[in-house]
Amino acid sequence: MNKGVSKALWTIGMLLWMGFIFYMSSRSAEISGNMSDTVTDIFQQLFFRSWKNLTPSKQALNRSMLEYLIRKAAHYSEFALLGCFMGGLLSQFPIRYLLRLFIGFAAGAAYAWSDEFHQAFVAGRARQFFDVCIDCAGVLTGLLIVTGVIAAFRLDARERKERKERREMKRKLKEGRQ
């Protein structure tokens, strides 16, 4: 694929995903809570069939813990996908791998901070340092996965090209001897 097209696709994906994160962060605490309740209900029904056998107090405690984990997993997942888009975009530029990770992580962390700052102005929402940490972990995971996969594909392509060139050289040497 053309480098310009790749850059454009990765950029569009990244910007759309950043817009999605912003949109989700703009939802009031009530709306966000209702979404979490719905997802928690689904998980509860799919994975915890013995839920109804628990006492009401244990149900409430377990539900609270499950909802908390789901909310944090959502933060992590949102920003892991952002890290994937950033890693894909940065892989289109001729910069060293570690610098690519540093730039992507710094940009992702800055966006995580801005997202939490933005939430402070949304009804019922608040800034949480722990969420920024989770977001940053997600960004780093996404960056590592995508840049690692792209680097592996490039290395494989380079090795295939070198093998082909060696075979061609051997063929030419063989023809020259005859």
CA atoms within 13 A on the CB side of 62: 16
**pLDDT at 178 (0 to 100):** 65
In this prediction the pTM is 0.83
Q: What is the pLDDT of residue 59?
A: 78
**What is the pLDDT at residue 165?**
85
- The number of residues in the chain equals 178
Q: What are phi and psi of 122, to 5 degrees?
A: -100, 140
Judge contact between 137 and 72, C-beta under 8 A: no
Q: Give the C-alpha separation, 84 to 150, whole Å.
A: 11
- Residues in the chain, pLDDT under 50: none
Separation CA 105–CA 148 (nearest Å): 15
